[in-house]
Chain A
Amino acid sequence: MMCRMLHRDKLTAWLEELSRSGRRLIAPQREGNDAVFKPVETVDDITLDYVNTRWPVKEWLFPRSEPLLRYRYVGSSVELEQPDLGLEPQVIFGVRPCDAAGLAILDQVFITDYEDEFYTRRRSVTTVVGLSCTEPAESCFCTAVGLSPTSSEGSDMLLTPMGDDGYLVETLTAKGKQLLWEYGHYFGAGECGSKDLATKAIEAKMSRGATLAQGIGYSEELFEHPIWAELARKCVGCGICAYVCPTCHCFDIMDDADAWGGIRCRNWDSCAFSLFTQHASGHNPRPEQDGRYRQRVLHKFSYFPQNYGRVMCVGCGRCVTDCPVNLDIYAVAQAVLHIHDELHIDGKSHIAGEELHSEPHAREHNSLTSSRAAS
């Protein structure tokens, strides 16, 4: 890692030059009271005045709706059209550390585990410039899931505000180094350790201090526990929590056709929806909201840790503030963890791998039997 300083006055000039470099610059801009990532037309539109952006940054790599192919009937044959991925090099500026860590999680799913062509190609032309937080929101809990308001995971370059001096610039990857090399004249000497004090000051303002980074161990007793119906009772089954989540990555592939052709599209999907697990036969292994909500919590804090060694939550707090019924995943995860600990007082590590009875297909089996038991 290399560290530099970027003087406060030079930020705009740097972004200005960056926006004319042939790369597409994406940065937070005002939309009503919100800040929203949008391609920059003029750097004056960029805002730095936000705790976090309205939506997570993931849609610039994993769009809400992505055409996989289009087809048209031409006479008696079919003409296939490859979608335009719009693969111009892009720099996303102003990504908060939680959202950047969310990208690192999506990388695990879409690149490491299985190479998703669409995500991987977009990711390869994207440079992420993170911007550390200065003021946490009441709903923020990145420290509870092993991150911090200045953590650099997922960013290629991270800017941390250092008072009037400007920004401490950390370059973390080859893409970040490239950016530094190209615009070296904007950056002065910087000291890598200097952000520690700033980090501690922000962390001190955060009120959500539980430790959830170890995840929640899986067990059948926990899976079948009545807590889920109790927790999910107030869930109204909208998709807000999944769609504002920097890490949620489930999608559905659907065809939309008319007389002249059609489009095959993959769209974000949410485990809160009844259609999410609906089978063609009409059977639904998660017939009610408790099973759906359990999936959300255990996927993030139990299954994902088993498969990828970390929890699938970055503590951005969007689902907490946006939930219309204040179903707070931070509070829920603590409650479930507490129940797990009561059920299993042997003190085993929460990150599974050690708990062998919880393979994914065994879980599917469980959900089937539980739905039968319920019906």
Chain B
Amino acid sequence: MPDESWQPQIVAFVCQWCTYAGADLAGTSRMKYAPNVRIVKLPCSGRIDPLFLVKAFEQGADGVLVSGCHPGNCHYVSGNLLARRRFTVFRELLSFLGLERERLQFSWVSAAEAVKWTEVVDAVTEEIRRLGPRKLGWGETLPSRGSRFQVASSKVEPETRNPKPKTLQAAEESIRRIARQLLEANAVDVVVGYGNGTLSGVTTPVFVTQPDGVEQLVWNERCLNNLSVYLTRDLVKRMGRVGIVAKGCDAKALVALLQETQINRDQLTIIGVPCEGMMQNGRLAVKCVTCDVHTPPIYDHLVKVGVGIEILEIGESGEADPRDAEIAALEALTHQERWAYWQEQFSRCIRCYACRAVCPLCYCDTCIVEQTQPQWIPPAFDAKGNLSWNIVRALHLAGRCIGCDECTRACPANIRLDLINRKLALLISDEYGYRSGYDAGVAPPLTTFRPEDRAEFIR
């Protein structure tokens, strides 16, 4: 039990038009309510970046309250409705990572609702008081030995399906033929594809600028890299018009980049390759188990592979993602166990930012970790900074990640970023019926809203 003298410290981020005015009214009306809340006033709940909440928790807040205008009352029309989606995702993410749900609270309080404000603060304070102080610092775990929770390895073992050598060879010949034609016709300045790597069974990105160079291009079951990451890189952009070899999952990244207007479709030629799946560590890569884009969703030239690759409709893979069982196992745990699991994972993070570097959708010129005034993400490679970095990375990809798993493949510390990405993708699919990478014509889910979006967690 918490000791009697302990008082929860709660940071409230509120919008200036409604909730702040409501709190002001409560004060000028001499209403009495719990003194545990410190208010930070912002122009709109839409301006409340989840990062602010992370900072509050970093610095020891026992709880955080976010409050804005009721739907329909936003001074800026829809800031609160956009915020509602963002906080739906943020709340689920933090809960998945093991923070008690009660520590993160939301309400709509209008300028007239002084009474509601006092009730909300009293109720939130009481819930957090019952929970007690946060026993562990941000990102910290109790030292444990041997008893660390391991995710029950999924029952669905990825099969060791080998792609058919004949289709691979046909595809390789076809890729070379198309690349040669494109370069000879001066339709592209460079073809980005796969070449043989320096270690056995490893491919490496190659940049072919001359027709005779197409012999470097290979196609086999090790073409794991998502080459679309290069399309936003200066050194590649400068080469001119790009032809890119793309599997279905890579083409999903191209769709997302087009959707976010990061690439110019006219300057891009997509050499789509039907793909039966790539191999990783001797078995079918996990992302390939549920693949429903064996044929790329967009392409300009489709590589001929002969026969044998089934073309599936979206959502038709018919397989269960082995990670769904792992996610379910994690969700069945207590918050403390889940927290311990993730903090152990993040404790291995060496902040090499490979997850960011290989991500086709992490194209910002200046990443949030590079912003030093203020220093948003704690710079030390410790529990606090590692947790905040991993939260922010996941959140910035929410509703955008196309599930290519490159971050997880690149991570030298084997952190299960794929579980986090998958969890958020499932959430967004359930809540908003949206899956990233299929349609460049629709708005990404966190940049839009519907009036009927879920709101039952908001007081």
Residues of chain A touching chain B, judged by Cβ–Cβ distance below 8 Å, are: 31-32, 34, 41, 54-55, 64-65, 67, 138-139, 229-230, 232-234, 236-240, 242-244, 252, 254-256, 258-259, 263, 265, 267-268, 270, 273-275, 288-290, 320-322, 324-328, 330-331
Q: Report whether B225 and A265 are in contact in the complex, using a CB–CB cutoff of 8 Å.
A: no
Q: Report whether A243 and B350 are in contact in the complex, using a CB–CB cutoff of 8 Å.
A: yes
Name B206's closest neighbour in chain A (CB-CB).
A234
Name B224's closest neighbour in chain A (CB-CB).
A324
* A–B Cβ pairs within 8 angstroms, 9 of them: A32-B414, A41-B145, A64-B351, A233-B236, A238-B410, A254-B379, A289-B235, A324-B225, A325-B358
Instruction: A31 to B409: give the CA distance in the assembly, Å.
Output: 17
Q: Counting CB contacts under 8 A, is B28 at the interface?
A: no
Q: A324-B225, A327-B204 are in contact. Are A267 and B410 (CB under 8 A)?
A: no
Q: Report whether B379 and A265 are in contact in the complex, using a CB–CB cutoff of 8 Å.
A: yes
Q: Report whether B412 and A274 are in contact in the complex, using a CB–CB cutoff of 8 Å.
A: no
Q: Report whether B354 and A64 are in contact in the complex, using a CB–CB cutoff of 8 Å.
A: no
Q: Which residues of B contact A229 (CB under 8 A)?
A: 235
Q: Report whether A256 and B225 are in contact in the complex, using a CB–CB cutoff of 8 Å.
A: no
Q: Report whether A324 and B406 are in contact in the complex, using a CB–CB cutoff of 8 Å.
A: yes
Q: Counting CB contacts under 8 A, is B327 at the interface?
A: no
Q: Report whether A233 and B381 are in contact in the complex, using a CB–CB cutoff of 8 Å.
A: no
Q: A229-B235, A232-B235, A288-B234 are in contact. Are A326 and B352 (CB under 8 A)?
A: no
Instruction: A240 to B356: give the CA distance in the assembly, Å.
Output: 12
**Which of B351, B380, B410 lies at the interface centre, i.e. has the most chain A CB atoms within 10 A of its CB?**
B380
Q: A240-B352, A244-B412, A256-B380 are in contact. Are A326 and B197 (CB under 8 A)?
A: yes
Residues of chain B touching chain A, judged by Cβ–Cβ distance below 8 Å, are: 59, 145, 197-200, 202-207, 225, 229-230, 233-236, 348, 350-354, 356-358, 366, 370, 372, 375, 378-382, 406, 409-410, 412, 414
Q: Report whether A325 and B199 are in contact in the complex, using a CB–CB cutoff of 8 Å.
A: no
Q: Report whether A138 and B199 are in contact in the complex, using a CB–CB cutoff of 8 Å.
A: yes
Name A257's closest neighbour in chain B (CB-CB).
B375
Q: Which residues of A contact B378 (CB under 8 A)?
A: 256
Tell me the dominant secondary structure on chain B's binding face. Answer: loop
Q: Which residues of A contact B380 (CB under 8 A)?
A: 65, 67, 254, 256, 263, 265, 267
Q: Which residues of B contact A256 (CB under 8 A)?
A: 375, 378-380
Name B198's closest neighbour in chain A (CB-CB).
A328
Q: A239-B353, A324-B225, A325-B205 are in contact. Are A274 and B370 (CB under 8 A)?
A: yes
Q: How far is the CB of A235 from chain B (nearest CB, A)?
A: 9
Instruction: A328 to B203: give the CA distance in the assembly, Å.
Output: 12
Q: A139-B199, A267-B380, A330-B198 are in contact. Are A324 and B410 (CB under 8 A)?
A: yes
Instruction: A265 to B204: give the CA distance in the assembly, Å.
Output: 37
Q: Which residues of A contact B230 (CB under 8 A)?
A: 233-234
Q: Report whether A236 and B357 are in contact in the complex, using a CB–CB cutoff of 8 Å.
A: yes
Contact of A238 among B207, B354, B370, B379 (CB under 8 A): B354
**Which of A67, A236, A240, A256 lies at the interface centre, i.e. has the most chain B CB atoms within 10 A of its CB?**
A236
Q: Report whether B370 and A275 are in contact in the complex, using a CB–CB cutoff of 8 Å.
A: yes
Further contacts, 11 of them, CB under 8 A, given A54-B412, A325-B358: A234-B230, A239-B351, A239-B354, A252-B379, A254-B380, A267-B380, A273-B370, A274-B366, A289-B234, A326-B202, A326-B203
Instruction: A178 to B214: give the CA distance in the assembly, Å.
Output: 61
Q: Which residues of B contact A240 (CB under 8 A)?
A: 352, 354, 410, 412
Instruction: A32 to B230: give the CA distance in the assembly, Å.
Output: 32
Q: How far is the CB of B235 from chain A (nearest CB, A)?
A: 5
Q: How far is the CB of A323 from chain B (nearest CB, A)?
A: 9
Q: Report whether B352 and A239 are in contact in the complex, using a CB–CB cutoff of 8 Å.
A: yes
Instruction: A325 to B370: give the CA distance in the assembly, Å.
Output: 23
Q: A41-B145, A238-B353 are in contact. Are A326 and B382 (CB under 8 A)?
A: no
Q: How far is the CB of A251 from chain B (nearest CB, A)?
A: 11
Q: Which residues of B contact A65 (CB under 8 A)?
A: 380-382
Q: Which residues of B contact A327 (CB under 8 A)?
A: 204
Q: Which residues of A contact B225 (CB under 8 A)?
A: 324-325
Q: Report whether A64 and B381 are in contact in the complex, using a CB–CB cutoff of 8 Å.
A: yes
Q: Which residues of B contact A242 (CB under 8 A)?
A: 352
Q: A240-B410, A240-B412, A267-B379 are in contact. Are A320 and B357 (CB under 8 A)?
A: no
Contact of A64 among B197, B350, B358 (CB under 8 A): B350
Q: Report whether B198 and A326 are in contact in the complex, using a CB–CB cutoff of 8 Å.
A: yes
Q: Report whether A324 and B352 are in contact in the complex, using a CB–CB cutoff of 8 Å.
A: no
Q: Report whether A238 and B356 are in contact in the complex, using a CB–CB cutoff of 8 Å.
A: yes
Q: Report whether B409 and A324 are in contact in the complex, using a CB–CB cutoff of 8 Å.
A: yes
Q: Which residues of B contact A268 (CB under 8 A)?
A: 350, 381
Instruction: A67 to B381: give the CA distance in the assembly, Å.
Output: 11
Q: Which residues of B contact A31 (CB under 8 A)?
A: 348
Instruction: A65 to B409: give the CA distance in the assembly, Å.
Output: 25
Q: Report whether A234 and B410 are in contact in the complex, using a CB–CB cutoff of 8 Å.
A: no
Q: How far is the CB of B148 from chain A (nearest CB, A)?
A: 11
Q: How far is the CB of B76 from chain A (nearest CB, A)?
A: 30
Name B201's closest neighbour in chain A (CB-CB).
A138
Contact of B198 among A254, A288, A331 (CB under 8 A): A331
Q: How far is the CB of B225 from chain A (nearest CB, A)?
A: 6
Q: How far is the CB of A148 from chain B (nearest CB, A)?
A: 21
Q: Report whether B412 and A290 are in contact in the complex, using a CB–CB cutoff of 8 Å.
A: no
Contact of A270 among B198, B202, B352 (CB under 8 A): B352
Q: Which residues of B contact A330 (CB under 8 A)?
A: 198
Q: Report whether A236 and B198 are in contact in the complex, using a CB–CB cutoff of 8 Å.
A: no
